Structures are given as structure tokens and as C-alpha cells.
Structure 1
Amino acid sequence: MRVAKVWIEHPVLQLDQVYSYDALQLPAEKGKRVIVDFNGRQIVGFVDEVAEVEDPAKTLAKGRPLKPILAVLDENALITPELFDLAKWMAKDTLSPVISCFQAMLPSKLKPKSSNQKIKMEQIAVYVADHPHLTPRQKEVLDWLKQQGPTGLSLWRKQSPAITRTLEKLGCVRLDSRTVKASVPQAAQAEAFLPLNADQQRVVHEIETSSKAVMLLHGVTGSGKTEVYLHLARQVLNQGKQVLILVPEISLTPQMVARVKGRFPTEVAIYHSALNNQQKYEQYCRVFEKQASIVVGTRSAVFMPFDHLGLIILDEEHDSSYKQDSLPQYHCRDIAIHRAQYFGCKVILGSATPSLESYARALKGVYGLTELKERVNRQLPVCTVVDMKNQSRSQSGILSDELKQKIAERLDRKEQVILLLNRRGYSPLIKCGQCGETLQCPHCDVALSYHKSINKMKCHLCGSEYPLITVCPKCGSRTFAAPGYGTQKLEEEAARLFPQARILRMDADTTSRKLAHQTLLEQFGRHEADILVGTQMIAKGLDYPQVTLVGILNADAGTARPDFRSVEMTFDLIMQAAGRSGRSSTPGEVIIQAFDPNHFAVAAGSRQDYSGFFYQEMQYRHLGGYPPYTYLIALTFSDSHPERPKQSAQWFAQALRQTDAFKVLGPSDLFKLQDRYRSRLVLKSKNLDQMKAVLSQVLEEYRSQRAQAHLSIDVNPLILD
């Protein structure tokens, strides 16, 4: 008897195990999706293994015969053996259910869900056999199909509707169906590779000859890191291997794709969240069927089904977008390094502002370190810090006199300007001028933001929208005001001050539609706009020769966040945004507006001084016992009942404190999110494996409780707001 071990599509930890099913009648294989009966429900599962079993006892479940597999959904296994092992490793590394790791790997059309989506199919014409009594024209059409191979029905009919139908009736051709394939770009003339300067050649040589599997490429903004990536990719492709290039944001993908496709026209697959489900499926299949040698994509592209991977590149490796914020909460860097170990290839971590963890590992020799310390044009932008406390109260407070003057100069010279404000909407809150009441989201404990473009209030956490209220619900006055400002108000102010300027805004509100990122960036690249206003999505990776001025507004706002990484993220944002200016032959300038201009993150960012910032921030991390000096695990309990998260967290804390192997911080109450109350514990230790081992044991007991809050586990969290 053939018995299949199946992971079922239930992410609850209590069901994180395989279940046995009778696979005698169906072609179930490891990695295929199957439909099974689980407690009277037909659900989708993933086959872990299939084995011949002779012992009758092993063909029984609770004394009854095993249930049969009802259907096999896949002709071929979706998950390669390497990805299968990766999913199990990832489950242990992130303390997540195995099935959730499989779900994270696959495009939506292939995820093991009972409500799985249908894959788009198309009709095709397939050559079957010749016929002795064909006319010359009929033979010509049939020979065309024989040479062409299986062909879409519409193209087949174009040869001659009457003849094609006759050939089908004669049995020379049959109509079949297949999944829609991604269109392969037509061969085009590849762009010439730019010659590397001496520094870039040195870096390429150091990466190629280093014995380190992971190389940190620390290069200042505009130093030519992308050109280094492309030269290394060409060498790997010449060896017949595959290349994965990862970028953190969708907004960065179009420019990277354009540069990669320019050098390798027919070999590139694209994978990011702006693609629809069918497009993701088609790109996944291109890699699975070895039709693409290079993949450019965001975080989820790290799971593409490679079989001969030769190089992985994480551009802007410091970016928090590489961390998944839902189950399983993996970091893309960890997955990349683990896959590289399997394939025996190198990982390149590139950034002008490497994460403190990565740079510390490089200095200790865990990673290799190579650096590009100068821009290709040999000139960094001139940075000026403006103290906004000294600005006149009569002014709008958005743009300083210095920044307004510099913008006017650039517009006169037909150059371009980027204005960065990391806050979307028109105003971050709506406040009563009489009693001070602030309107809050009823589902989350946060203030509602005002969006003037739609005249509504929005919650930036749950996305809820509400009509604008003009009467205070607390005191009844009509003195509501919208203090502060976001990108919408900044755009409005820029249009008022510079009516002749063409302005584009790029934030989460203007990029919600498909291809909106690419459209906006292409418009700016063609100089169809003079000023680009946006949030952090325009702060990194973008390369426009005509941009000679960058204005960074509220540059120090991030330091007010109650998170141990807030200062690092503030510094990264300033330095990355400043790097968009003066990347060509024209010198660049940066105006940094801050209310605390002496803060060391602002000062170091204005000097483009990564090393100085690193050593000062590391002193604070050491004193506080935070990463990279320790490891953290965050346990977040949530429930619609207000007391349950706190009770569950207290029980868990008491159980964990039976050992003194690590510190247990909390429980701490967090703000309500989407009608769920939350409480959190943070575990801190220098021994991550020991923390995981103890936590796994306590989890077993926690699972057996009935009235428990939902538990989310984040190993090595990036944010602890």
C-alpha cells in the first residue's frame, strides 16, 4: 500500500504535523498539492513523502483504514527538493508552521489553499500526423504547425480558418489546452557594458577571489554598485548558472529591470507584488522551466525555483522591507544565505548604509568586506542643515527660506528637484481647537489622518476611511484644525510657491494602481515633471542625472519613535535621500530641515559619514544590550477580548522565567490594531538557539490551553514600536 504523508493547509500550530492518507489509486508525489478529507472538510494539502507500507498497523488511523487522497492537483511537483528542505529549515528558524512556509514560497495561484484560484488556460493546436490526400496548401499549413510546435488557437486560425478546421476534422491536428505562458521578450540588441573604473575593478576582483560566501559591498551613493552587480552577473551567466537580484521596494524595480534587461534582453524574469496573480504564476513557471536565467524582484522572489543558482545580490540590504511582517516572519537575507549554502554560490549584500548587524559581521570577518568610498563622478552633494526652530512662525513651516531659494534656482536652470517627506496624507491628525480632542480610528488606537484629495479621514494602519467630521463629538465646537503636514499638503504648498513647476507626488496613495510606480518614475525620468514629492519610497536607488537638489523635510521625525532602531533608520533615510542629488556631472545640493539639527543621526547623515555614525550608535546598542550585541525574540499576543492577550502573556512570561538563561521583558500593552487588543513579551539573550529551544518547549504547553490569545512570534524583529 502507498501511504502519503501530507501537510494540511491549516496554519494553527496545533496542526503543525503531517497526516497519513492512502495514495494507492492516485499519482501523489512529494511536492504535489492534493485534496484530502480532514474532519469532514475537503481541504488542500502538500505531500511530504510517499512510501510503500507493508505493515497493516501503519495503514490505520485510530484503528480505522486510512482515508484516500481525493485528487491530485498538480501534474508536476511544484516545490523542488531544495525548496522543500528550505521550507522545513525556515519553519524551525522562524518558529512557524511548516505549511505557512510552503504558502510563503508559492505565487497565489499555486498556494495550497482550499480556495485555490484557477490558473488561466488557453486552447492550442497540436500536430498529430500527416494525411495522404492533402492539397498543397493544406500540406503547407500543416508543415507550418509541425515546425512551429503547439500553437495558440488564435494564431493557428490566422493561417486559414477553413483549412485549419479541415485539418482538425481529418485528425492531422488536435485541439488541446495548456496554461497561459508568459510572453518571452523578443531578442534585442544588448546594450554595451560600461567600462569599470579602477575602484570597481578592485571590488569585482575582491568578490571573485574572496573565500567568504557572503560579501558586504559598502559603497557610497552613486559609486557604481549596480554596474559591479551587472559585471558579476555576466560572469556567472557565462558559466551557465542563474542570478537572483533582489531590491527592497517596488519603486526601485523598474530602474533595476531596465538596466538588467538592457544587458541581458531575453533572460530576465520579473517578480514583485505589483504583478497580478496570473503574471506571478507565469514568471514562476519561466524560472521553473529554465526559460529565464536572471530574476529581478522584491522579497518574495527569493523563493523562485532555481536549480543552478550562481549568485544572489541583495541591493539596499539594510532596508526593513526585506523582513516579512506576517507569518512566517522571515528575513530575506537569511533565506538568501541559506540557499546560497546549498548551491555553493556567493551572496552580495550591497548598501551605502549597511545594517549595523551586517557591518559588524563584516568587521569581525564573518562576512567579507569590500568598499567603494568615492562616487563615480568624484563629488558628493553639498549638504546644509536648516534649524526649523528658527523659522518664522508666520510662515507655513513646510519649506524653509533656504530650500525655497534653492528650488527657484533649479527651476530657472531647468534642473529637477526631489522633496522627501516621510508622511503621506494632508495632515497626520484632526484636532479640536477648543478641547484638544483628537479623532481616532475606532478599530486602532491611532489618530486618523486627513486626506484632502478625497476629503476623508484615513487610518494608516487598517486602511479604514471615514467622512470628514466638522463638529467635535466631545464639546460640540466647530474649531477642528489639521495641524502638521504630509505629502499632499507639501505638494499643495510647492504648487502655490512655484506655479510654473510641474509636480508629481509618489506615495502609497498615488501608487496603489497597477504599474503606477513605473509610470510616475518614467514621467520624471523623461523630465515631464520638475519636482518629485514623495515618501521614503523615493529615498533610495533612484538615479536621475537632472536631479541636482534634494530637500529632506522633518528629517529627525523618526528619532521620536520608541524603537531601538529609530535612530539608525533616520540616519539611513537622510543619507540615502541625499544620495539622489548630483549623480551626474552637475554638482548636487541637499537641504536637510530638522528641529534637532545637532542630533548625531542628522549630523552624520549630512556629512555622509557612515563610519562615524556606526561607532557612535554601536556604543548605545552595547549599553542597552540590543542587537547586534544580543538577539531578540518578540512574542505578540492578540485577541478581540481586551484581557485575554495580557493574561496569555503573563502566563507565558511566568513559564519562561523558570529559567534564567535569558531576559524576559514585559508583558507590555500595545495599541489596539484592527479591533484586536495586544500585549507583547521580548526575549533577550546572546544565545539565540537556547532561546528558541526553551521557547519551543513552552509553546507545546501553551498550545494545549483552550482560552489562549493568538500568538505571533518574530525572531530577530526589526521594529519594536
Structure 2
Amino acid sequence: MQKSLENQAVLWRLRVAIDAPLAVNFDYLAPADTTPSDVGLRVVVPFGSGRRVGLILAVLPLSGDGTAADAPAADQLKPAESILRDLPPMPVDWISLCLFAASYYQAAPGEALLQAIPTGLRKPDPVKRRALKAVSKIEHEAPMQPALTAGQTAVLDDLLPRLNGYSANLLFGITGSGKTEVYLRLIEAVLAQGKQVLLLVPEINLTPLLEARVTQRFPHVPVVSLHSEVTEAARARHFAAALTGEAHIVIGTRLAVFTPMPKLGLIIIDEEHDPAYKQLEGMRYHARDLAVWRAHQAGVPVVLGSATPSPESWANVQSGRYQRLDLPERAHADAVLPAMTLLDTRRMTLDEGLSAQLLEELAQGLAAKEQSLLFINRRGYAPVLTCTACGWVSNCRRCAAHRVVHSLDRTLRCHHCGDTSPIPRQCPDCGNADLRPLGRGTQRVEESLRKHFPQARILRVDRDVATTRKQWEVLEAQIRSQDVDILVGTQMLAKGHDFPALTRVCVVGADAGLFAADWRAPERLFAQLMQVAGRAGRADRPGRVIVQTEHPDHALYQCLLRHDTPAFLDLELTARQQAGFPPYAAQAIVRAEAKQIDNVLDFLQRIRGLVPQEQHPEVFIYDPVPMRMVRLAGRERAQLLLESPSRIALQNFLNQWLPMISAGRGMTRGHAPGGVRWGVEVDPLEC
């Protein structure tokens, strides 16, 4: 028997993916208990001077058996230590998804595969885990389902008959139209078929309410969540529960798109327009786009929900790739869209950025015992501190940015690299004691409102006071119990929340997004304003939205005034088509950084000419330029933009070009002479 096992061990080698930035996989001698069905299992292997957990991609014959003449000899391979059999193999469709993501986003296959697996399942010597216990179920009776609106009924009549095949559907519903109820009805139908559902949300602070609604509606159904605030051990259990089919509903942020689900029947992407679905480190994938590809691969429907769809999704509707489904009215019987008002501040005297009319609106809300939200998308006290004598400003010592004034802890803080120092008592350059904050953030607005309304209960909600999900839940409970009169908040409050007592939304400081260098800024500003406006008047009390602006005639504000999202998207797509911007072109970008900008620009200029332009006439490579924030965390940064009307042509170019940059090693990011670090991003959101 022993000899038989030894012979078996000699017969096989393992093709293993390792979490490393290399476009190759690695071969190892197979352990004695290996069988061809072990593809998809995790395996402990020696790597470099240490040990790693890899994923078995293939079980292949060794040379010498007459079937693999080009295979390495046994004495050329290191032996794998052990195959981990505590979980079923990763499904073939899951491996295909990860490999597609690696190929499209120009990442190493091992990075894509292994980073999709929870950290606790990637340790060579993991702490002893408890047996996978049954996913907790909340034992209570399911609540009565609310009556459907005519729009919800029409959408479900369209979608329900198409649950057994692929379709891409854009659920375009105004704020408060009941998109979540449509999701729940679809989930119910998919669960009745014995299948699993993947529900993606853009941010962690949107998961508690949605998770509560799902578990309340389906009290006997195993539901798991996957996001960065789930503990390592819990994430491993939830991932395993999805893999084994025990978890029927998975709710998660962007990384959850890689959750293995053998009985997947439906994918839902809530707030599909949100840029948080884009990963900005490592493999820079877009979870929304991968979810659509995954649905097509699995032959299941995908529903993309939004009150402000992305221009890319709107273009897919126009081209026929997506089907558009509308929810044109609010779900609450007495709720209507809020009345919009633009306050032209060009001839107004403002008090800390607040007009007399806006303050009067807040006073009326207090008198009516209704909640109001003052929205300013800038945290801190003021964007910059300056000296009135010599003009010194609080620049960051490590970034090409200002350090923001934070009054509560009396610090100057860079919101990009985290550099922090105490607020100086006098000017560091000239000694002048008259230092003044310029501009305003949430802290300064909060301070001003407390002076105007000393009797009001004012609550500030931003990343400085709600850094974790638990902190947010405490604040949310205060708002829902109506222990708050006036909210001062950033984009954390702009989307996904339903506060019935909130009737007024006042917006200040929005004009900065109209003329930003980023050509996506208007899209983000419009979505942000429509979303925050949608927080008002969601129940039986009418809502009002007041936007202070110096550009009331701007087309963006005029579309906002009419609640006309389709008109704005059509304008935006027309402008992009004329300029040759996505979705009418494909883009990729190489970003590089070093201590000296000249080294960065020299590197980018050198790699720009590695492939003759005539070999790829459809790909245009721009000149290397410094990035808008040229210095970040003490390093100088520049970029090289590539553009093509053909996505295939751009991918073909990248496949030839990137190995030449990395001297044939197939790396999609790495180091270069001069202390340069570089990386590539496909479909960048910022150029």
C-alpha cells in the first residue's frame, strides 16, 4: 500500500496560483494523497524563504509517463506540503471569474485568486478554527408585505418571468420609490427555486439597514455579510457558508463580488453608480462591471438599481445591452418629490457661508418640529489656515495639498496622507499671531449653527465622528428616535438612508464640483445632489431642498431643479461622445512615483516608446504628465494615459507592452531604476 502511494505521488504535479505580482503560476510535486479532483483546493507550498497557501489550478502528469513531454522533471520541482481539505474545492466558475478579472484588469492571476479568499483561509498555519456552525437565523414571523405601487408591480411583472436566464436590468427608480421592496420580492422568488442571491452595496454604512430588512423579511433564511468590518474569523465562516451553499443570501461590499456561490440565482447591485465599487489598490477592478460579467457567465439575471444611474449604464440602456425598468413614483402613498429651490448667492451677504434665507428655512423646520439636514461635503473646520501678514498657508509637508483645520482637537490634518500637527499659535514664517481659517467644513458650519440656534439639538455626521459601523449605528439611532433637530453632514448621509421626520435639505458649497479638472466631477456632483435631495419628504410630510449657488443657470442645476436625471445623463453622454471620453473610448493609465519627479517622467517617457506606434494604430498614448496632486506622502507622481476607441485593441496593446516594461516577467506593477514604483489601471475613474 505504501509503495502504491509513493508511486502515485511521483505521477502528479500541481499547477499552483500564488499571491504574488507575477503573471505566472508555479509547479510543485504533488502530495501522496493527490487526485485529479483536487483542482480548486488550497495547498501549502514552500515559496521563497517561507511558506504560502496557494490554489491548485491543475493536477498534471509528471514527465516520464509518456503524456507530458514538456513537463519539468521531478527533481526540478519542490514538493508541496499538504492539501487543505477543510472546504470543498473552489468552483470552476469562480476560478474563471477571478482569472477573467486578472486578465482584463492586467493583474497577476495569483493575486486575483488568493486575495478573493479571506485572510484566515490563506494562512499556512491557521489558528484552529471552530467547526462551521449553522449561520444564525432570527426566529420570528415574517412581517406583512407592503402593498406594491403600480410601478413596482410593472417591474416585477417584467422581471419575475425572466429569472431563469441572463439579463442585465437597470432599475431606474427615483429616491424613495421602493427599489428595496423590488429587491426583496425578487429574492423571495429566487429563494423559492432553491438558489442563492448576491446583494452588493457600495459602502459599509449602508449594510446595517439593508441587512436588517432582509433578515426581517426572511427570518428563517441564512444570511451572511462580507465587508471589511467583519472579523477575520467571521469572514472565513461566512465565505465558507456561501461556498457550501449553506448561506442563501450574501450581502457585501465590492470584494463580495468574488464570493463563491455554487447555486447563484440572482445578483443585485444597489446604488450601481457609486464610485466606491471601484477598487483603488492592488487589482483595480470595478465590482459592478465584474458582477455583470459574472451574471452573464452564470446565466442569471443582474439588477442594477439607482436613482442616478452612471452614464456608462445609461449608454448600455441606449445600446440595448441593458433593459431599463422605471419606478417613477415614491412608494409611500403620501410622499412626493421634494420642492427644489436654487438660492442665487451672488448678491447676498453670507454669514459663515449661510444665507439669511437658508437660516430662515432651518428656523421654520425647528418651529414645525421637523428634522433638517445641512449638507456640506467637506469635513473638518476649514480647508486651510493662513497668515494675514505674509500669506503663509497650512500646506502639507508631504503632499501637494493643504492641511485641514480641525478645531475639536486643535490640529492641522492632511486628509490624503494623515500628516498631523498642532495648530500653531503664530505664523511659522513671520511670527504673526493673526492666523485665520479660510473656507469652511462641517465643524465650522456646526459651530455657526449652534450660535444661530442655541436651543436646537445639532448632530454632525462625517468620517471624523463615525469611523466604524458601530459608531454610525449609534448616530443613526439618534436620528431615527428624533433626538436630533438639525443634521450637519457629508456624503455619508447622501444615499440609502430613510429618515421619515427629515423634511428639509439645505446644500452649501456645491459649486466647486461644477468646474473641477476631473471630467467626471459633474456626474458625481449631480448624483450626490439628487441623492441628498432624496432624503427629504420620504413620508407623509412634504420635503424641501434649498441649494445655495452662484451659478443657478448652469445646466446641471436646471436638471436638478426639474428632477430630470435622464436629461442630465443625455447631456453628459453627448459631451463625452464629442470629447471621445468613456464610454465611447477605452482607457488605461500607468501611474508612477518616486522621490524625484524627473525620475518618474523619465521612466514614463522611456516606456512610452517600447512598442512602435504603427503596430497599434488604434491606441493613442499621451505624453507623460504630473498628476493633479503631484506629491503624495512625500513622493512625486506622474501618469501616462492610453486611449483607444476599441477595448480589444487596448487590451492587445497592454498584453504586449506590459511584459516589456517588466523585462519579460509579466508584472503589472513593480519597481524601476531611480526608485520608481509603477502600476497600471484599466478603466480608471480618475485621469
Query: What TM-score do the two structures reach when normalised by structure 1?
Result: 0.87
Structure exhibiting the larger radius of gyration computed from Cα positions: 1
- Pick the aligned partner of 1:31 from 25, 40, 51: 40
2:159 is equivalent to residue 207 of structure 1: yes
**Distance in 2 (alpha carbons) for counterparts of 1:180 and 1:503:** 45
Are 1:194 and 2:204 counterparts? no
Q: 1:58 to 1:109 in 2, by over 3 A?
A: farther
- Contact preservation (8 Å) 2:295, 2:302: yes
Inter-partner Cα distance in structure 2 for 1:30 and 1:63? 20
Equivalent of 1:81 in 92, 97, 122: 92
Specify which of 645, 649, 665 is matched with residue 604 of structure 2: 649
Distance change in 2, residues 1:587/1:527 (3 Å): same
Shift in CA distance, 389/104, structure 1 to aligned 2, threshold 3 Å: farther
1:430 is paired with a residue of what secondary structure?
Answer: strand
Q: Do residues 578 (structure 1) and 539 (structure 2) align?
A: no
2:390 equivalent to 1:380? no
- Once residues 663 and 198 of structure 2 are traced to their aligned partners in structure 1, the CA distance between those partners, rounded to angstroms, is 42
Alignment of 1:228-627 (within 5 A): 228-267=182-221, 268-376=223-331, 377=334, 379-392=336-349, 395-397=351-353, 399-627=354-582
What is aligned with 2:654? 695
Q: Using the alignment, how far apart are the partners of 1:22 and 1:85 within structure 2?
A: 24
Find the counterpart in structure 2 of residue 713 from structure 1: 680
Name the CA distance, whole Å, in 1 between partners of 2:544 and 2:315. Answer: 31
Match of 2:24 among 9, 14, 17: 17
Letter aligned with residue 349 of structure 2: S
Tell me how far apart the structure 2 counterparts of residues 212 and 282 of structure 1 sit (CA, whole Å). 29
Structure 1 residue 215, shift from structure 2 partner: 0.5
Does the Cα contact within 8 Å between 1:552 and 1:593 map onto a contact in 2? yes
* Partner AA of 1:3 in structure 2: R
Cα distance between partner residues in 2 of 1:80 and 1:318:
29
Classify the secondary structure of the residue corresponding to 1:597: coil
Contact 2:311 2:569 in 1 (8 A): yes
Alignment partner, residue 4 of structure 2: none
Task: Indicate conservation of the 8 Å contact 1:312/1:346, yes or no.
Answer: yes
CA contact (8 A) 2:202 2:277 kept: yes
Deviates more, 1:361-370 or 1:504-513: 504-513
1:319 Cα shift? 0.6
Question: Which secondary structure state, in structure 1, belongs to the residue aligned with residue 604 of structure 2?
Answer: helix
1:681 counterpart residue number: 640
Structure 2: distance between partners of 1:80 and 1:505: 46
**1: CA distance, partners of 2:352 / 2:402:** 22
Change (3 A) 1:656 1:682: farther
Contact 1:212 1:367 survives alignment (8 Å): no
Q: Read off the aligned partner of 2:638 and give its amino acid letter.
A: S
Quick check: 1:308–1:343 contact (8 Å CA) kept in 2?
no
Match of 1:93 in 2: 104
Task: Measure, in 2, the Cα distance between the counterparts of 1:688 and 1:182.
Answer: 45
Picking from 116, 133, 136, the partner of 1:184 is: 136
Are the equivalent residues in 1 in contact too, given 2:166–2:300 (CA < 8 A)?
A: no
SS at match of 2:177: coil
Q: TM-score, normalised by structure 2?
A: 0.91
Identical-pair percentage: 36
**SS of 2:16 mapped into structure 1:** strand
Question: Which digits, 9 at most, give the CA deviation of each residue in 1:289-344, with x for residues without a partner?
Answer: 32321122221222222111111111111110111111211111121112212321
1:567 aligned partner, one-letter code: P
- The equivalent of 2:50 in structure 1 is 41
Displacement after TM superposition at 1:58 (Å): 6.8
**Following the alignment from structure 2 to structure 1, what is the Cα–Cα distance between the partners of residues 265 and 466?**
34
Match of 1:160 in 2: none
User: For each residue in 1:475-509, what CA deviation from the matched residue of structure 2 results, as whole angstroms up to 9, or x when unmatched?
Assistant: 33223221111111122222222222222222111
- Whichever residue aligns with residue 713 of structure 1, its letter is V
Q: Distance in 1 between matches of 2:70 and 2:569?
A: 60
2:14 and 2:30 in contact (8 A); partners too? yes
CA contact (8 A) 1:9 1:113 kept: no
Unaligned residue ranges in structure 1 (runs of 5+): 122-177
Quick one: distance in 2 between partners of 1:113 and 1:391? 62
Distance in 1 between residues matched to 2:183 and 2:71, nearest whole Å = 55
User: Is the alpha carbon distance of 1:76 and 1:212 closer, same or farther for their aligned partners in structure 2, counting shifts above 3 Å?
Assistant: closer
Q: Confirm or deny: 8 A CA contact 2:245 2:263 kept in the other structure.
A: no
| Deviation by residue 1:246-302 (Cα, 9 ceiling, x = unmatched) | 111222212211211111123221222222222322322232232321122221222
Superposition deviation, residue 88 in structure 1: 0.7
Correspondent of 1:220 among 160, 166, 174: 174
Q: Which amino acid aligns with 2:686?
A: I
Change in Cα spacing, 1:271 to 1:24, as seen in structure 2 (3 Å) is closer
**Cα deviations across residues 26-61 of structure 1 (Å, max 9, x unaligned)?**
658333333333343333333222223252797986
Instruction: Measure, in 2, the Cα distance between the counterparts of 1:50 and 1:639.
Output: 42
- String of CA shifts for 1:441-496, please: whole Å, max 9, x gaps: 22221111111121111111122322222333333322322111111112222222
Cα distance change, pair 58–674 in 1 and its aligned pair in 2 (3 A): farther
Q: Whole-Å Cα distance in 1 between the matches of residues 209 and 74 of structure 2?
A: 61
Bigger relative CO (Cα 8 Å, ≥ 6 apart): 2
| Counterpart amino acid of residue 618 in structure 2 | A
- Structure 2: distance between partners of 1:598 and 1:656: 48
The code of the aligned residue for 2:655 comes to S
Structure 2 counterpart of 1:136: none
Moved more, 658-667 or 688-697: 658-667
Distance (Å, rounded) in 2 between the aligned partners of 1:594 and 1:274? 38
**Kept in 2: contact 1:645–1:678 (CA 8 A):** yes
Cα distance in 2 between the residues matched to 1:484 and 1:9: 45
Query: Quick one: distance in 2 between partners of 1:437 and 1:100?
Result: 45
Amino acid in structure 2 at the alignment position of 1:507:
D
SS at match of 1:655: coil
- RMSD over aligned CA atoms reads 2.3
What is the deviation of 1:571?
Answer: 0.8
Return the letter of the residue paired with 2:51.
Q
Q: 1:215–1:348: 8 Å Cα contact kept in structure 2?
A: yes
Cα 1:24/1:59, change in 2 over 3 Å:
farther
**Compared CA separation, residues 431 and 74, structure 1 to 2 (3 A):** farther
Mapped to 1, the partners of 2:465 and 2:679 lie a distance apart of 32
**CA contact under 8 A between 2:382 and 2:439: conserved in structure 1?**
yes
Q: Secondary structure at the match of 2:415?
A: coil
**Does the 8 Å contact 2:62/2:73 carry over to 1?**
no
Q: Which segment is superposed worse, 523-532 or 206-215?
A: 206-215
Q: Which moved more, 1:206-215 or 1:347-356?
A: 206-215
Per-residue deviation, residues 492-550 of structure 1 (Å, max 9, x unmatched): 22222222222222211112135122221122112122222211121111111111111
Paired residues of 2:90 and 2:243 also in contact (CA < 8 A):
no
For residue 620 of structure 1, report the CA deviation from its aligned partner: 1.7
Query: AA paired with 2:218?
Result: F
Of 2, 9, 13, which aligns to 1:3? Answer: 13
Aligned residue type for 1:83: W
Alignment partner of 1:560: what SS? coil
Structure 2 contact 618–645 (Cα < 8 Å) conserved: no
One-letter amino acid matched to 1:413: A
- What is the alpha-carbon distance in structure 1 between the residues aligned to residue 74 and residue 33 of structure 2? 23
How many aligned positions are there?
Answer: 656
Name stretches of at least 5 consecutive residues in structure 2 with no aligned partner. 1-9, 665-671
